[in-house]
Amino acid sequence: MKKLLIFIALGISALTVSAQPRIAPKMPDYQFTTVKANPITPVKNQFRSGTCWAYSAIGFFESEAIRLGKITDSLKYPDFSEFYVVSNSYYERGIKYVRLDGNLTFGAGSEADDVLDIIRDYGIVPQSEMTGMNYGTELPVQAELDAVLEAFVKVIAKNPNKTLSTAWTRAYKAIIDEYLGKCPESFVVDGKEFTPKSYRDALKINPADYVTLTSYTHHPFYTKFAIEVCDNWRGDLAWNVPIDELMTVLDNAINNGYTAAWGADVSHPGFTRNGLAINLDTKAPVSSGSDQEHWVGKEEGKPAPVIVKEIEPTQESRQIDFDNKTVTDDHGMQIYGIAKDQDGKKYFMVKNSWGESGKYKGIWYATESFVKGQTLDIMVHKDAIPKDIKAKLGIK
């Protein structure tokens, strides 16, 4: 019995040690040179809200408006309202939640296709017409709103009167309007009056021109499927392609003047809070310097270089990570450029929505390995896809 207790204690101790969270090692002091950077609008701050999906996709469509309108003056770059999208999305999600008797995840999270759906069905509004800050703060703080909306739709979904009233949808919309402001029906830009839909059309944004790509083996390649994550509450479909082709699409897009809305997992320890996204091999030790430096020391006055080892993702490893929930839809961002570090290694330039935080003022540098391994999906203009891949998908 005593031996058994000792064995159990040792087992518990081992489990405790193995369960300790990994701490990302100190990264090298990278120096980045831009290879290709497509126009983006200024970094915004989603602050205390779960609306990265709106910020990233709206940033993507702002870049599209710049590209389509051939705008070269940054002072004339568009600034679209994220919370016009959020307001309409929250309303439609509440309606669907009740229709499904509460059998739907209700929360702040969503994905880029939700933004595309709203732009298709409702249009686009300038930020000046609907800031969303209708509840006393300068930046988004949405915990109260999210809790109130969830509590409201949960009660309605229980159908306490055994028949739904005609008032609940108006009451639900009124809550959203009080927090985020009412959606404008018309507005004036540069002396011309628009509706949200006519403004979208004037910007030459055609929602039918945008496609989402993903890469997993539990569905056939070159077919569409609804990615099985809670944030895809609409069941929007994504084209499934091999991961190497998805990376080819991304390269082709950036090199030809397009950007991409990017859904990715940022819980990986290599996604730092200081502007780096590196697909760290957490099981490999981080090497500082050479073997010679290990035995005889580094050159006086110079720090030993830090060498970080990355995992090389495969189609198979991506599927394992998706199936075991190691990789899921944590965060939405915008990929807009390519850079290289001082050693010539390639990185994707990423616009985040956490304000001008980190070493690079709201910009992240993600290695090819990180993007290849941690990507859930990307949204691009269909013309950003190489012709041979478009042909496989039947996209014209």
The pLDDT of residue 82: 98
Six-digit token string for 273: 């809070």
Give pLDDT tens digits for 317-326.
999 999 999 9
DSSP 320-335: HHHHTTSS---EEEEE
The pLDDT of residue 66: 98
Is the residue at 146 inside a domain? Answer: yes
Give pLDDT tens digits for 6-38.
333 333 333 333 333 445 556 778 999 999 999
Is the residue at 223 inside a domain? Answer: yes
Please provide the average confidence, as pLDDT, over all residues in the chain: 90
Of 15 and 129, which is predicted with more confidence? 129
The pLDDT of residue 286: 55
d(CA 349, CA 254) in angstroms, rounded, equals: 10
d(CA 174, CA 153) in angstroms, rounded, equals: 13
Is the residue at 7 inside a domain? Answer: no
Q: Which residues pair with 262 in a beta bridge?
A: 333, 378
Is the residue at 17 inside a domain? Answer: no
Tally of structural domains, the chain: 1
Other C-beta atoms lying within 10 Å of the C-beta of residue 34:
11
The pLDDT of residue 255: 98
- Domain with residue 85: its CATH number is 3.90.70.10
Give pLDDT tens digits for 298-323.
555 555 556 789 999 999 999 999 99
Give pLDDT tens digits for 259-287.
999 999 999 999 998 999 999 987 776 55
What is the residue range of 280's domain?
24-393
The pLDDT of residue 277: 97
Is the residue at 3 inside a domain? Answer: no
Is the residue at 16 inside a domain? Answer: no
Residue 292 pLDDT > 90: no
Six-digit token string for 297: 């020391």
Q: pTM of the prediction?
A: 0.89
Of 19 and 74, which is predicted with more confidence? 74
Is the residue at 329 inside a domain? Answer: yes
The pLDDT of residue 29: 86
- Please check whether residue 350 is in contact with residue 336, taking contact to mean a CB–CB distance below 8 angstroms: yes
The pLDDT of residue 22: 44
Give pLDDT tens digits for 176-230.
999 999 999 999 999 999 999 999 999 999 999 999 999 999 999 999 999 999 9
The pLDDT of residue 58: 98
Is the residue at 13 inside a domain? Answer: no
d(CA 284, CA 97) in angstroms, rounded, equals: 45
Element (H, E) at 261: strand 260-264
